[in-house]
Amino acid sequence: MSGGGPLRIGAIDDHPAILHGVMAGLVSLLPAETSLAVSASVDDLLAEAPQLDVVLLDMSLGDASVPADNVRRLMGSGHRVLLYTQETRSRPVLEALQAGAMGIVGKHQELSDLADAVLEVAAGEIHLSHEWAAVVEAEAARLAPHLSARETEALELYAAGLPLKSVARRMSLSAETVRVYLLRVRQKYEAVGRPAVTKTDLYIRAVEDGYLPPPETT
């Protein structure tokens, strides 16, 4: 729907025959000239390199790919992602949303619900029902490590890209003390099942938990 043109939808599901039937019903509820591209995997969709306004992503694909990783790949290619799935577990949904997915619609929901969600996400809005919002908030609180003020400061500065010695100067501490703070941060993330071994991992966790803003997407 870029520039006011036709709405362009992609859908990724490893049961494309079933999905085609669902999508045919969906398209009938959307603006005229809506186009649709259906693929069985993220690889297939990206190989076709279509320009899309929204990609509907199933979270249980036959290639055993990780939903959050799939979201990141699609987002990295400039696609807005809407989860369309039978998934009911809160943690993988939270991880996919933290990776950048802009909402979730269950496959059991009415097509009109899906159509509303597609239009909202295409317009750059988040689509999350009250029920899912509550579940995700509770799961996020459960999985968020409790960092001290100094640990938080060290994480924010280091994950933002500063070298260890620069973080130490900013905090008026020794490099060894900052290293200890970062070790504690890593240990606390490991304890809640969200390991952060590398500096990139720490950056991802900092973005997920709101310590740093997400990267801008074009």
Q: Which amino acid is at 109?
A: Q
CA-based diameter of the chain, in Å? Answer: 63
pLDDT for the residue numbered 2: 54
Q: In this structure, are residues 40 and 16 in contact, taking their beta carbons and an 8 Å threshold?
A: yes
Domain residue limits, the chain: 2-141, 144-208
Q: H or E element: which one contains 37?
A: strand 35-39
Q: In this predicted structure, what is the pLDDT of residue 36?
A: 87
| Tens-place pLDDT, residues 30-88 | 988 888 888 889 999 999 877 899 999 999 898 889 999 999 999 999 999 999 988 88
Instruction: List pLDDT tens digits, range 200-214.
Output: 999 988 988 888 887
Q: Give the pLDDT score at 9.
A: 93
3-state secondary structure of 9: strand
**Do the domains 2-141 and 144-208 sit in the same CATH topology, yes or no?**
no
Q: Which residues pair with 83 in a beta bridge?
A: 57, 104
Token couple for 107 = 């496959």
Q: Is the dihedral of CA 96, 100, 106, 107 positive or negative?
A: negative
The domain 144-208 is placed in CATH, from the list 1.20.1090.10, 3.40.47.10, 1.10.10.10, 1.10.260.40, at 1.10.10.10
Tell whether pTM > 0.85. Answer: no
DSSP structure class, residue 215:
P
The larger pLDDT score, comparing residue 194 to residue 165, is at 165
Q: What is the pLDDT of residue 1?
A: 56
How far is the C-alpha of 179 from the C-alpha of 183, rounded, in Å? Answer: 6
* Residue among 59, 72, 82, 70 nearest 10 (CA): 82
Secondary structure E strands in 58-156:
81-85, 104-106
* Amino acid (one-letter) located at 130: H
Give residue 3's pLDDT: 54
Superfamily for the 2-141 domain: Response regulator (3.40.50.2300)
